[in-house]
Structure 1
Amino acid sequence: MERREITVRFCETDALGHVNNTSYFIYLEEARIQFFSSLGYPMDVNHWNFILASTKCDFTNQGYFNQVLTVTTAISRIGTKSFELEHQILCAQTGDQIARGNAVIVYFDFENQTSAAIPEGLRNKLKDHIAGGGIV
């Protein structure tokens, strides 16, 4: 499981004083980029084989300006051409869940504009990050 800490900036909050719902998707994106980098796939648009097919976020608590959040990322499912990431956003101080998210990532051949089978090397790296009870 990968972990990333994020401190909520003032611009990420709304008039009610809590983190705006759109900001959580930015936090999840940051976590995905870090996760791919940890697998040996740094963000390089000339050598990139992933597309985000679906993402969602459930807001379970409020987050606030200057709060330190921990975003965790793990694999919940590995298919033939896609895999799913599960995220949790927690208050770093208390461990309380603030939000949880999910992303479906498709392995993609941009040259031929089609999905492709996940290479065995990547599949093995993904298996190292599968959450308990995940489906391979």
Structure 2
Amino acid sequence: MPRIKIDLPKSFSFATEIPIYINHINYGNHLDNAALLMLVSEARVRFFRSLGYSELDVEGVGVIVADAAVQYRSEAFHGETLLIEMAADDFNKYGCDFVWRLSVGEREVARGKHGMMFFDYQARRPAPLPQAFVERLQAGRK
């Protein structure tokens, strides 16, 4: 099976720090893969909040995770603080990718991306990518 390879953007539009707690650690004494995804989810909520949105209200529609890919690079341990960087990329009719990198100092822990799809929760169907969301992201890059 081919390995997953995730290319990172030249720059990230958002970054946040999150400490690794003991409940994030698995029997191997390092960051658990399921906990890693929970920490990325927390960063994603913070990213939306930094733009004035919530995951249930981005210009009147919500978002759901359509797919996810992770490339693990090194271990992370209890007591360390992760820097989680995130950027939106590869826009399409119904969404985009959120590309992210986790690191501790100069050590990259993981990189990945989530396929984000805009979703009308009342109609229970995909919703078009809000142009105002794209414009707000672009304004933040300036």
2:98 equivalent to 1:78: no
Aligned residue runs from structure 1 range 69-108, under 5 A: 69-91=82-104, 94-108=105-119
- Kept in 2: contact 1:74–1:129 (CA 8 A): no
**C-alpha separation between the residues in 1 aligned to 2:81 and 2:111?**
16
- The residue type paired with residue 96 of structure 1 is R
Q: Match of 1:107, SS?
A: strand
Identity %: 20
* SS of residue in 1 equivalent to 2:90: strand
User: Do residues 15 (structure 1) and 7 (structure 2) align?
Assistant: no
More strand per residue: 1
Structure 1 portions without partners, runs of 5+:
131-136
1:67 partner letter? E
The structural deviation recorded for 1:15 is 2.0
Query: Which of 112, 117, 135 does residue 123 from structure 2 map onto?
Result: 112
Shift of 1:78: 1.1
- How large is the RMSD of aligned CA atoms in angstroms? 1.8
Q: What is residue 29 of structure 1 aligned with on the other side?
A: 41
For 1:134, the equivalent position in structure 2 comes to: none
Shift of 1:42: 2.7
Q: Distance in 2 between matches of 1:43 and 1:115?
A: 14
Q: 1:66 aligns with which of 69, 79, 104?
A: 79
**Alignment of 1:39 onto 2:37:** no
Q: Number of residues paired by the alignment? A: 127
Asked if the contact 2:56–2:62 (Cα under 8 Å) also holds between the matched residues in 1, the reply is no
After TM superposition, the score normalised by the length of structure 2 is 0.81
How much has 1:35 moved relative to structure 2? Answer: 0.9
* Unmatched segments (≥5 aa) in structure 2: 1-12
SS in 2 for 1:78: coil
- TM-score, length basis structure 1: 0.84
